[in-house]
Amino acid sequence: MTKENGRIYGEKAFIDSENVKTFWNNNAKKDSSLKSVLLGYDFGENSADLHNKKEAKIVLNFIGNEKKTILDIGCGIGRWAYNLKPVIQKYDGIDFSDEFVKAANNNFKDNKEINFFCMSATDIDRTKLSEKYDVVIVTEVSMYINDDELEKLYNFINLFTQKDSLLYIQDTTSLLETRLTLKDFDSKELKTKYNAIYRTKTEYETLFKKYLPSFKLSENGTELLLDENSGAREETNARYWCFKKQ
């Protein structure tokens, strides 16, 4: 285990969830764009769009073209409400940033089938949501949750799904042999202190096996998402997993 200026290699270090929430609210106040949501500041001007278009194609191919009820955990400004609009029967998005939720509700105020709620992924108010969903999407969420809280998120995924429900998870992962934690890291790109946990592929798949045992990985269900034009970094890259509940 080594520590270098807010970069912690190997150790299971804790990050402050309130600092994470403050970061995202401040980020949303400054800019509620796609680039803000996907943190594409230090890449090309179109990096966020390239990321989003590639990911949208993957998810649409995965879930098909029939109308679906969709739960989006970590919805931000509602990019999945945009991306999946042709197949939405009912969409509920949740995010712990009240600033992003305000922006999302304003963007979709004329769409009765699309709703956004401010709540944490580890403290979901089930009374505001549907009992079950055809599709659950969880993007860039687990990396902001400490190990001892992740079980809560995965338990909610189990509760909101049933046989044949589809699950898409995407998170930025470590490309190293061990996890990398940024703890109060002074980010030149973001011009503020940043906190995140980049777990390895193996770590995530161990968690899925433990907490999501009824979900089966689809064929070609896990891949790295980004290239050098859309946000790939030397030590980290976004990875996605596509599951179907058995």
pLDDT digits (tens, 9 = 90+) for 40-50: 555 666 888 89
Read off the pLDDT of each residue in 201-210 and give the average, rounded to a whole number. 97
Alpha carbon of residue 155 to chain centroid: 16
Sequence-distant (6+) residues with CB within 8 A of 82 are none
| Contact between 198 and 143 (Cβ < 8 Å) | yes
pTM of the predicted protein model: 0.94
Measured from the Cβ of residue 209, the count of other Cβ atoms closer than 10 Å reads 10
| Contact between 212 and 154 (Cβ < 8 Å) | yes
As given in the structure block, the two tokens for residue 116 are 């956004």
Could you tell me the residue ranges of all domains in the chain?
2-31+46-245
Q: Which residue has the tokens 């944490």?
A: 120
Encode pLDDT of 206-230 as tens digits.
999 999 999 999 977 899 999 988 8
Alpha carbon of residue 28 to chain centroid: 16
Read off the pLDDT of each residue in 13-32 and give the average, rounded to a whole number. 88
- Domain 2-31+46-245 sits in CATH at 3.40.50.150
Determine the pLDDT at residue 229. Answer: 86
CA neighbor of 13 nearest in space, from 143, 186, 147: 147
Q: Is the pLDDT of residue 164 over 60?
A: yes
Main-chain phi, psi angles of 232, to 5 degrees:
-65, 140
Sequence-distant (6+) residues with CB within 8 A of 213 are none
Handedness of CA 98, 104, 105, 107 (dihedral sign): positive
Encode pLDDT of 80-133 as tens digits.
999 999 999 999 999 999 999 999 999 999 999 999 999 999 999 999 999 999
CA neighbor of 180 nearest in space, from 188, 171, 167: 171
Main-chain phi, psi angles of 210, to 5 degrees:
-75, -45
Q: Is the pLDDT of residue 158 over 60?
A: yes
Q: How confident is the model at residue 34 (pLDDT cuts 50, 70, 90)?
A: confident
